[in-house]
Structure 1
Amino acid sequence: MSEPLRRRDPGPRRAVPSERLDQPLARRRTLVPQTRMDPEVFGEFAERFARFMGTARFLVWMTVFVLVWIGWNVLAPDRLTFDPYAFIFLTLMLSLQASYAAPLILLAQNRQDDRDKVQMGQDRARDERNLADTEFLTREVAALRLALREVATRDFVRSELRSLLDEMDEREEERERRRREGSAEDPAAGGDAGAPDRPDEA
């Protein structure tokens, strides 16, 4: 009979470190030391470089450099030339410049996009504040208009005073007229009362 198969003892298990979110990861050691560079400083350099490449001065200096390079290697004696026709070294330099210029320009564009986003957020917040202020002022003006409907205005007070003065003048004229009529009737009444009574004729 065959012997039953025995399971091998795997031995003590190694503790597998579990990744926990509440603990920072241990810093890994690398053969090449990591260089720390301030992204703000490098971004400003990229923006200055991209801004300079987009100017007419850069185009003029680049054109002068290429013409001098080609003219020297074509017209100078053979013993003084360093990049003969085909200008392989010049082509290599221009390719190297383009390979560095493209990432720098992209970095400058990304920084400009970030600034545009921040500016748009600030403009949106400013517009919201202006809209809220405008709505508040509109409500205040509407409330003032409703309140002014119940308050006497200057023109209304003037018209009321003018009508009151006219009414007082009319009453004064009426009193004066009545006084004159009364003074005119008093002498006539006094003359009739002072005349002697005549005897009745038989």
Structure 2
Amino acid sequence: MSERGGRKLDIPSTRRTISFNLDSDIVGMYSERVARFLGTGRYLLIQTVIVVVWIALNLVAVTIRWDPYPFILLNLAFSTQAAYAAPLILLAQNRQENRDRVALEEDRMRSAQTKADTEFLARELAAVRLAVGDTVTRDYLRKELDELLDELTERFGARDQASDDADGVEKSR
């Protein structure tokens, strides 16, 4: 094992850096709340009132002017707001896009399952129709039984007549 400067290369260093970890879901949830608020009429009204008061105080109140006419501080505030609002809105849109993608995939799976179920039911219905087509109906069975009854009646009628004829011949003797 080689050593350089008193440190072994096969042993990880124990130096730790401070890491700042935030749960991305929590950040995303709050960014969506801020993005939703930025898109409301209430926010626009509040911002308009603040800007009007800001400009009025800086134009009229000579003794407390903190941001004279070009309103550089107001422009800086708007720039800072835009610098934070744009990424928050993009983050909210990305999260919405992910939710839409998951919902679309679930809809596709549900649609495929519905289609498979429909095709299965169509095949089962066709099989039932074929099976019903092969079954004997009441009218068909009646017709067959009537034909058998007629045939039996003819046979027994012919036999009875032959036996009556035979009996008549014996009696006549």
- Same fold judged by TM-score > 0.5? yes
Unpaired runs of 5+ in structure 2?
A: 154-173
Residue 51 of structure 1 aligns to a residue whose secondary structure is: helix
Q: What do residues 124-179 of structure 1 show as CA deviations (whole Å, max 9, x unaligned)?
A: 111111111111101101111110111134xxx24764894xx98xx9xxxxxxxx
Q: 1:80 maps to what in 2? A: 64
In 2, Cα distance between the equivalents of 1:116 and 1:16? Answer: 49
Residue 89 of structure 2 aligns to a residue whose secondary structure is: helix
Q: How far apart are 1:115 and its partner, in Å? A: 0.7
Alignment pair present for 1:137 and 2:98: no
Question: Mapping of 1:87-126 within 5 angstroms?
Answer: 87-126=71-110
Residue 81 of structure 1 aligns to a residue whose secondary structure is: coil
Counterpart among 35, 47, 52 of residue 50 in structure 1:
35
Q: 1:27 to 1:40 in 2, by over 3 A?
A: farther
Q: 1:183 maps to what in 2? A: none
**Aligned-pair RMSD on alpha carbons?**
2.8
Amino acid paired to 2:95: R
Q: 1:146 to 1:159 in 2, by over 3 A?
A: closer
In 2, Cα distance between the equivalents of 1:66 and 1:53? Answer: 16
Q: What do residues 91-112 of structure 1 show as CA deviations (whole Å, max 9, x unaligned)?
A: 1111111001111111111111
Q: 1:161 to 1:27 in 2, by over 3 A?
A: farther
Amino acid paired to 1:29: R
Alignment pair present for 1:29 and 2:16: yes
Percent pairwise identity: 45
Q: How far apart are 1:13 and its partner, in Å? A: 4.0
Alignment pair present for 1:151 and 2:138: no
Amino acid paired to 1:50: A
In 1, Cα distance between the equivalents of 2:15 and 2:26? Answer: 27
Query: What TM-score comes out, normalization by structure 2 length?
Result: 0.73
In 2, Cα distance between the equivalents of 1:27 and 1:102? Answer: 40
Q: How far apart are 1:35 and its partner, in Å? A: 2.1
Unpaired runs of 5+ in structure 1?
A: 1-11, 19-24, 172-202
Matched pairs, number: 146
Q: What do residues 2-55 of structure 1 show as CA deviations (whole Å, max 9, x unaligned)?
A: xxxxxxxxxx8447549xxxxxx877522xx32222211111100011111111
Larger of the two Rg values belongs to structure: 1
In 2, Cα distance between the equivalents of 1:101 and 1:131? Answer: 44
In 2, Cα distance between the equivalents of 1:62 and 1:27? Answer: 51
Q: 1:150 to 1:27 in 2, by over 3 A?
A: farther
